Structure 1
Amino acid sequence: MSAGREGADMENGPIAAAAGGSHAHEGAQRLRPRGSNQVGMRQFNERVVLQAIRLHGPLPKAEIARLTNLTAQTVQIIIARLEAEGLVIKHAPLRGRIGQPSVPMALNPEGAFSIGIKIGRRSLDVLLLDFAAQVRERLTLDYDFPDPDTLFDEIRARLKLLRKSLGPKRGQLLRGVGIAAPLSLGGWQSLLGVAPQQAARWHEIDIEAEVQEMTQLPVALCKDTAAACVAELVAGRGRSVRSFLYVFVDTFIGGGLVIDSHLRSGATGNAGAIGSMSMGAALRGEPPRQLLSVASLFTLEKMYAEAGLDTGAAADARAMQAPWLPVTQAWLALAAPGIA
Structure 2
Amino acid sequence: MAITEMNPDGVSGVVDPMGGANQTRVRAYNERLVLSLVRRHGSLSKAEIARRTGLSAQTVSVIMRALEQDGLLKRGDPQRGKVGQPSIPMSLNPDGVLSLGLKIGRRSADLILMDFTGRVRQQLHEAYRYPTPAGIVAFVEKSTATILEAISADDRRRIAGLGAALPFELWNWVEEMGAPREDMDAWRDADIAAMLGERLPFPVFIQNDATAACAAELAFGHGPRFADFAYFFLGSFIGGGVVLNHALYPGRTGNAGAFGSMPFKSRDGGQDQLIDHASVVLLEKLLLEAGKDPSSIWLTPETWDDFGEIPARWIEMTGKALAFAIATVCSVIDFEAVIIDGGFAASVRAQVTEVARRELGKLDLQGIEPPIVEEGLVGSAARAIGAASLPLFSRYHIDQSVLFKEMA
Task: Please tell me the TM-score bracket, short chain as reference.
Answer: 0.7 to 0.9
Aligned mates of 1:165, 1:240 — CA distance in 2: 36
Shift in Å at residue 309 of structure 1? 4.0
Pick from 278, 286, 293 the counterpart of residue 295 of structure 1.
278
2:305 is the counterpart of 1:330: no
Equivalent position amino acid for 2:277 in 1: V
Aligned mates of 1:259, 1:55 — CA distance in 2: 16
Report 1:257-276 matches (<5 A).
Answer: 257-276=242-261
Is the partner of 2:102 in helix, strand or coil? Answer: strand
Residue 214 of structure 1 corresponds to 199
Check conservation: 2:107, 2:127, Cα contact below 8 A: yes
Is the partner of 2:165 in helix, strand or coil? Answer: strand
Check conservation: 2:76, 2:89, Cα contact below 8 A: yes
- After TM superposition, the structure 1 stretch with the greater mean CA deviation from structure 2, 125-134 or 144-153, is 144-153
- After TM superposition, the structure 1 stretch with the greater mean CA deviation from structure 2, 270-279 or 71-80, is 270-279
Residue 134 of structure 1 corresponds to 119
- After TM superposition, the structure 1 stretch with the greater mean CA deviation from structure 2, 230-239 or 166-175, is 230-239
Is the partner of 2:271 in helix, strand or coil? Answer: coil
Equivalent position amino acid for 1:330 in 2: R
Residue 97 of structure 2 corresponds to 112
Is the partner of 1:202 in helix, strand or coil? Answer: coil
Residue 35 of structure 1 corresponds to none
Equivalent position amino acid for 1:73 in 2: Q
Is the partner of 1:203 in helix, strand or coil? Answer: coil
2:61 is the counterpart of 1:61: no
2:105 is the counterpart of 1:151: no
Over residues 33-64 of structure 1, what are the superposed CA-to-partner deviations in whole Å (9 max), with x where a residue is unaligned? xxxxx955111111111111111112221122
- After TM superposition, the structure 1 stretch with the greater mean CA deviation from structure 2, 227-236 or 197-206, is 227-236
- After TM superposition, the structure 1 stretch with the greater mean CA deviation from structure 2, 305-314 or 268-277, is 305-314
Residue 191 of structure 1 corresponds to 176
Aligned mates of 2:90, 2:245 — CA distance in 1: 30
Residue 87 of structure 1 corresponds to 72
Query: Relative CO higher for 1 or 2, CA cutoff 8 Å, sep ≥ 6?
Result: 2
Aligned mates of 2:43, 2:124 — CA distance in 1: 31
Aligned mates of 1:259, 1:96 — CA distance in 2: 36
Check conservation: 2:118, 2:220, Cα contact below 8 A: no
Gaps of 5+ in 1: 7-37
TM-score, with normalisation over the residues of structure 1?
Answer: 0.82
Check conservation: 2:208, 2:255, Cα contact below 8 A: no
Equivalent position amino acid for 1:180 in 2: A
Check conservation: 1:4, 1:227, Cα contact below 8 A: no
Residue 234 of structure 1 corresponds to 219
Check conservation: 1:109, 1:131, Cα contact below 8 A: yes
Check conservation: 1:304, 1:311, Cα contact below 8 A: no
Shift in Å at residue 95 of structure 1? 3.4
Is the partner of 1:301 in helix, strand or coil? Answer: helix
Equivalent position amino acid for 1:223 in 2: N
Is the partner of 1:221 in helix, strand or coil? Answer: strand
Shift in Å at residue 254 of structure 1? 1.2
Aligned mates of 2:48, 2:163 — CA distance in 1: 32
- After TM superposition, the structure 1 stretch with the greater mean CA deviation from structure 2, 110-119 or 322-331, is 322-331
Equivalent position amino acid for 1:167 in 2: S
Q: 1:205 to 1:220 in 2, by over 3 A?
A: same
Shift in Å at residue 189 of structure 1? 1.0
Equivalent position amino acid for 1:329 in 2: A
Q: 1:152 to 1:39 in 2, by over 3 A?
A: closer
Aligned mates of 1:274, 1:144 — CA distance in 2: 24
Check conservation: 1:4, 1:226, Cα contact below 8 A: no
Shift in Å at residue 281 of structure 1? 5.8
Check conservation: 1:302, 1:311, Cα contact below 8 A: no
RMSD of aligned C-alpha atoms?
A: 2.2
Residue 400 of structure 2 corresponds to none
Over residues 72-110 of structure 1, what are the superposed CA-to-partner deviations in whole Å (9 max), with x where a residue is unaligned? 111110111011111111112223643332221111111
Residue 280 of structure 1 corresponds to 265
Equivalent position amino acid for 2:171 in 1: G
2:228 is the counterpart of 1:243: yes
Check conservation: 1:164, 1:171, Cα contact below 8 A: no
2:149 is the counterpart of 1:164: yes
Percent sequence identity over aligned pairs: 37
Aligned mates of 2:308, 2:223 — CA distance in 1: 30
Equivalent position amino acid for 2:240 in 1: G
Over residues 134-167 of structure 1, what are the superposed CA-to-partner deviations in whole Å (9 max), with x where a residue is unaligned? 1110011011111333321111111122222222
Is the partner of 1:138 in helix, strand or coil? Answer: strand
Residue 27 of structure 1 corresponds to none
Aligned mates of 1:149, 1:182 — CA distance in 2: 16
Aligned mates of 1:160, 1:231 — CA distance in 2: 25
2:164 is the counterpart of 1:179: yes
Equivalent position amino acid for 2:44 in 1: L
Aligned mates of 1:335, 1:196 — CA distance in 2: 29
TM-score, with normalisation over the residues of structure 2?
Answer: 0.69
Alignment length, in residue pairs?
303
Equivalent position amino acid for 2:155 in 1: R
